[in-house]
Amino acid sequence: MSDRIFELRTYVTNPGKLAALHRRFREHTLELFERHGMEVVGFFTPTDGPEADRTLIYLLAFPDRATADQAWEDFRADPDWIKAKADSEVDGPLMERIESQFLAPADYSPVH
């Protein structure tokens, strides 16, 4: 079995900010993820629940945890990210909270 790991990230935006978050991902973040070797598995929005209208969930894949940690460090220090984040938050912060959980596939998982 591979040592590959996955990171599940859940973003809950401040009210009315989900569209701005989607725009930031479309116009900036995806390119930056690619630049920093962050493999996107998929993006998802909940279909129900009390915060569904302001939640984005996505899954990233990395060869190992050290690579993930370095990729995030490099991403957060990237001047293009710093500018995109600042520009997208001119009217206030987008995020209420961010949750991150690293996952290892079970030995019977078709994802590996």
For 20, the domain range is 14-46+56-99
In a domain, 21, yes or no: yes
Which single residue is written with the structure tokens 């993930």? 68
In a domain, 80, yes or no: yes
φ/ψ of residue 8, rounded to 5: -100, 120
- Beta strands (DSSP E) in the chain are 5-13, 39-44, 55-62, 95-103
Residues 54 and 98: beta-carbon distance below 8 Å: no
In a domain, 27, yes or no: yes
In a domain, 9, yes or no: no
Residue 1, pLDDT score = 43
In a domain, 6, yes or no: no
pTM here is: 0.92
In a domain, 8, yes or no: no
Residue 89, pLDDT score = 97
Helix (H) or strand (E) holding 31: helix 30-35
pLDDT digits (tens, 9 = 90+) for 36-61: 999 999 999 999 999 999 999 999 99
Q: Which residues of the chain have pLDDT under 70?
A: 1-2, 112
Residue 83, pLDDT score = 98
In a domain, 1, yes or no: no
How many distinct structural domains can be found in the chain?
A: 1
In a domain, 2, yes or no: no
Residues 80 and 29: beta-carbon distance below 8 Å: no
Q: Residue 73 contacts by C-beta under 8 Å, 6 or more apart in sequence? A: none
